[in-house]
C-alpha cells in the first residue's frame, strides 16, 4: 500500500480545525470491527506563544505538521505494513507502535520550545433526547488546580526516542506525492520532508511523560486544543484493559509508560515493543487553533471560575426513537422540529426536491401557454390589419372604377348646361 502524506488547508476558516490521519486511519481500520471501537477520550489545552505572530500558524501547519508529522506517519505506517507482509511478523502492532502523541509533541517542541500544557480534560458526549450527539471539550476552570493551592497545574511533555529508520524515498517531495501532482499547489509545491536526524532518518518507538511546571498562576491560558481518542476492545472476554476511576487525568495520559503484569498496572521503564498486548490510547485526533488567545481567570477569594466548551463533532442518529416526545419537561424548542434526525432531514430534503420538480414542471407548462397566447395574439392582430387593408383596397378599387363614369357624367352635365346657355 502506498499512502500519501496528509495535506491541510493553511488559510481561512478551513484551517482552524485539522483532522490528523491518525483518526481517519483508525476509522478505516476499525469501522467494520465487532469488538474494537474508536472513542474520543480526553483533550489537551496548549498555549503556544509563537502562534500569536502573524503568519506563524501557516508556517507551523506546512513545515511542522505536514512536512514532518504527517509525512513521518505515512512513511512509518507503510513501513510497518510492508514488514508485516514481507516478513510475516506478528509482533508489530501499527496502532500501538506508532506513538503519534510523542511525535506530535516533538513537532510542537521543534516549533516553539516555550509551549505549555495548561489544561487536561475529558471529552464529553451530550445526547439531545436521541436525535443527535455532540462531542464536546468542556473546560471547567474551577478544576485543574494544584492541591492546596490557587495555582493552575501546568505541564510539559518529555519525549524520548530510540532507534531510527532511514527514509529511503524521494527526499525532494512529500511522501507518496510527485512534483507533478503538487505543482499547482501554492502551499506544497516546493515543500520537502523534514527528518529527525541529519542522516534523513525517522526515530521510532518513542515514549513520553509529563513534567510539572512550577509557576504561580490563577488562570488558564490557551490558543490550541488537541483532542485525543482511544481504540478500545469492548468485548469483556478479550479486553485486557482496566478502567481505574481513581486514576487522575495526567496519570491517565501517561499510560503508555505502563504495562500489565499479573493483572496489575505496573510502571515499565523499558517498554517491550514486541509485546502484543499494548494499549492504543491517547492518539491525537486533530488540532484546533483559536484566532485569539483565550484566558479563563479564577477569582482567588470566591474561587469562582468560568467554563468554556468546544464542539468538535456531531453525530446524527439514523432514526428517531419515536415519532413524538412524551416527556412533560420538554420545551417547545427541544423537540424533533428543533433537533432533526439525519433520516428526517434526508426525508425533508427528498420532499423538497419533489416539490421543486413539480414547480419546475408547472412553470414550464405556464411558459408554453404564454408562448401560445402570444403567438395567437400576434396572428389575430395581423389578420385584423390584413382585413382592414383589404377592405381599404377594395374601396379604392371601387372608387377608381367609378371615377371615369363619374367624370363623364359630370362632363356631360356641364356640357349640356353650356350648350343650353349658348343656344
Q: What pLDDT is attached to residue 60? A: 95
Rounded distance between C-alpha atoms, residue 141 and residue 45, angstroms = 12
Highest mean pLDDT out of 51-65, 71-85, 335-349: 51-65
Percentage of the chain with pLDDT > 70?
72
Distance between CA atoms of residues 41 and 232, nearest Å:
10
Distance separating alpha carbons of residues 35 and 16, to the nearest angstrom: 33
Between CA 166 and CA 171, with CA 168 as vertex, the angle to 5 degrees is 105
| CA 278 to chain CA centroid, nearest Å | 30
Top-confidence residue, 237 or 70: 70
Q: What is the mean pLDDT of residues 163-182?
A: 87
- Buried b / exposed e over 271-308, threshold 16 CB at 10 Å, is bebeeeebbbbbbbbbbbbeeeebebebeeeeeebeeb
**How confident is the model at residue 243, as a pLDDT?**
55
Residue 259 reports pLDDT greater than 70: no
**Does position 258 have pLDDT exceeding 50, yes or no?**
no
The string of DSSP letters for 214-256 reads -----EEEEEEEEEEEEEEE--TTT------TTS-HHHHHTGG
DSSP code at position 98: S
Query: What's the rounded Cα separation, in Å, for the pair 159 and 102?
Result: 6
| pLDDT bracket for residue 254 (50, 70, 90) | low
Mean pLDDT is lowest, of 48-62, 227-241, 251-265, 362-376, for: 251-265
Residues 352-375 pLDDT 10s: 888 888 888 888 888 888 887 777
Distance (Å, whole) CA 107 – CA 195? 11
Mean pLDDT (whole number) for 137-141: 84
Q: Round to whole Å and give the CA distance between 171 and 179.
A: 11
pLDDT tens per residue across span 201-213: 988 777 788 888 8
* Closest by Cα among 120, 127, 124 to 146: 120
Q: Which residue has the higher pLDDT, 300 or 154?
A: 154
| Residue 257 near residue 207, CB atoms below 8 Å | yes
Mean pLDDT over residues 371-384, rounded?
Answer: 74
- The confidence score (pLDDT) of residue 50 equals 94
Residue 236's pLDDT is 64
pLDDT the model gives residue 113: 93
Report the C-alpha dihedral over residues 23, 25, 27, 33, rounded to 10 degrees. -140
Dist. CA 57–CA 292, nearest whole Å: 12
Which stretch of 97-106, 271-280, 308-317 has the lowest confidence by average pLDDT? 271-280
Distance from the first to the final alpha carbon of the chain: 135
Q: Is the pLDDT of residue 240 over 70?
A: no
**Residue 223: predicted pLDDT:** 94
User: Residue 311 to residues 185, 292, 315: CA-CA distances in angstroms?
Assistant: 31, 17, 11
Place of cell 481504540: 231
pLDDT for the residue 93? 61
Domains of the chain, by residue range, sit at 13-316, 341-423
Q: Is the pLDDT score of 265 beyond 60? A: no
Q: Is the pLDDT of residue 421 over 70?
A: no
**Tens-digit pLDDT profile for residues 67-124:** 999 999 999 888 877 776 666 555 556 666 678 888 999 999 999 999 999 998 888 8
Q: What angle do CA 52, 106, 41 make, to 5 degrees?
A: 85
Higher pLDDT, residue 19 or 32: 19
Comparing 2-6, 31-35, 163-167, the range with the smallest average pLDDT is 31-35
Long-range contacts of 318-326 (CB under 8 A, 24+ apart): 318/342, 318/343, 319/343, 320/130, 320/131, 320/344, 321/129, 321/130, 325/129
Confidence check: pLDDT of 273 > 50: no
Q: Among 179-183, 315-319, 401-405, whose mean pLDDT is lowest?
A: 315-319
C-alpha cell at 314: 456531531
- Average pLDDT score, the chain: 76
**Residue 325 in this model has a pLDDT that exceeds 70:** no
- CB neighbour list of residue 176: distance below 8 Å, 6 or more residues apart: 2, 3, 4, 5, 74
Query: For residue 144, what pLDDT band results from cuts at 50, 70 and 90?
Result: low
pLDDT at 393: 78
Pick the most confident of 98-102, 143-147, 315-319. Answer: 98-102
pLDDT attached to residue 339? 46
| pLDDT at residue number 391 | 82
Which residues, including other chains, have CB under 8 Å from residue 298's CB and lie 6 or more apart? 141, 142, 145, 150, 152, 218, 219, 220, 304, 305
Closest by CA position to 121, among listed 226, 243, 237: 226
Residue 167 near residue 75 (C-beta atoms within 8 A): yes
Helical segments of 34-70, H only: 56-59
- Asked if residue 255 has pLDDT above 70, the reply is no
Position 225 scores a pLDDT of: 95
Q: Higher-confidence residue: 165 or 417? A: 165
Residue 247: Cβ within 10 Å count: 15
Can you name the residues that pair with 201 across neighbouring β-strands? 166
Quote the distance between the C-alpha of residue 286 and its chain's center: 10
What's the pLDDT at 183? 81
pLDDT confidence tier of residue 271, bands split at 50, 70 and 90 = very low
Amino acid at each position: 500500500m502506498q499512502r500519501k502524506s496528509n495535506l491541510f488547508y493553511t488559510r481561512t476558516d478551513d484551517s482552524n480545525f485539522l483532522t490528523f490521519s491518525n483518526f481517519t486511519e483508525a476509522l478505516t481500520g476499525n469501522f467494520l470491527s465487532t469488538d474494537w471501537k474508536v472513542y474520543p477520550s480526553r483533550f489537551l489545552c496548549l498555549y503556544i506563544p509563537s502562534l500569536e505572530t502573524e503568519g506563524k500558524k501557516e508556517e507551523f501547519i506546512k513545515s511542522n505538521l505536514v512536512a514532518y508529522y504527517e509525512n513521518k506517519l505515512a512513511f512509518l505506517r507503510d513501513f510497518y505494513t510492508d514488514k508485516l507482509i514481507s516478513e510475516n511478523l506478528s509482533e508489530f502492532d501499527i496502532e500501538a507502535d506508532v506513538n503519534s502523541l510523542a511525535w506530535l509533541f516533538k513537532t510542537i517542541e521543534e516549533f516553539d520550545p516555550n509551549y505549555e500544557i495548561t489544561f487536561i480534560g475529558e471529552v464529553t458526549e451530550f445526547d439531545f433526547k436521541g436525535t443527535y450527539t455532540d462531542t464536546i471539550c468542556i473546560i471547567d476552570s474551577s478544576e485543574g488546580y494544584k492541591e492546596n493551592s490557587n495555582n493552575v497545574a501546568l505541564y510539559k511533555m518529555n519525549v524520548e526516542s530510540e532507534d531510527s529508520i532511514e527514509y529511503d524515498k524521494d527526499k525532494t517531495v512529500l511522501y507518496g506525492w510527485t512534483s507533478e501532482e503538487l505543482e499547482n499547489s501554492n502551499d506544497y509545491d516546493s515543500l520537502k520532508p523534514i527528518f529527525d536526524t541529519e542522516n534523513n532518518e525517522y526515530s521510532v518507538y518513542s515514549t513520553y511523560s509529563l513534567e510539572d511546571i512550577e509557576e504561580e498562576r490563577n488562570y488558564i491560558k490557551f490558543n490550541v486544543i488537541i483532542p485525543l481518542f482511544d481504540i478500545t476492545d469492548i468485548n469483556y472476554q478479550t479486553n485486557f484493559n482496566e478502567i481505574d476511576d481513581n486514576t487522575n487525568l495526567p496519570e491517565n495520559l501517561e499510560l503508555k509508560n505502563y504495562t500489565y503484569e499479573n493483572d496489575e498496572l505496573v510502571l515499565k521503564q523499558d517498554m517491550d515493543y514486541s509485546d502484543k498486548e499494548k494499549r492504543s490510547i491517547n492518539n491525537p485526533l486533530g488540532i484546533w487553533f483559536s484566532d485569539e488567545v483565550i484566558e479563563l481567570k479564577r477569582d482567588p477569594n470566591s474561587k469562582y471560575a468560568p467554563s468554556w466548551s468546544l464542539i468538535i463533532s456531531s453525530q446524527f442518529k439514523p432514526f428517531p426513537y419515536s415519532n413524538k416526545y412524551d416527556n412533560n419537561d420538554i420545551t417547545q424548542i427541544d423537540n424533533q422540529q428543533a433537533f432533526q434526525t439525519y433520516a428526517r432531514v434526508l426525508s425533508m430534503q427528498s420532499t423538497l426536491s419533489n416539490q421543486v420538480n413539480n414547480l419546475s414542471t408547472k412553470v414550464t407548462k405556464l411558459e408554453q401557454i404564454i408562448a401560445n397566447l402570444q403567438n395567437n395574439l400576434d396572428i389575430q392582430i395581423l389578420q385584423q390589419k390584413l382585413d382592414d387593408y383589404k377592405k381599404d383596397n377594395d374601396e379604392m378599387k371601387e372608387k377608381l372604377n367609378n371615377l371615369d363614369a363619374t367624370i363623364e357624367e359630370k362632363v356631360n352635365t356641364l356640357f349640356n348646361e353650356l350648350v343650353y346657355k349658348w343656344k
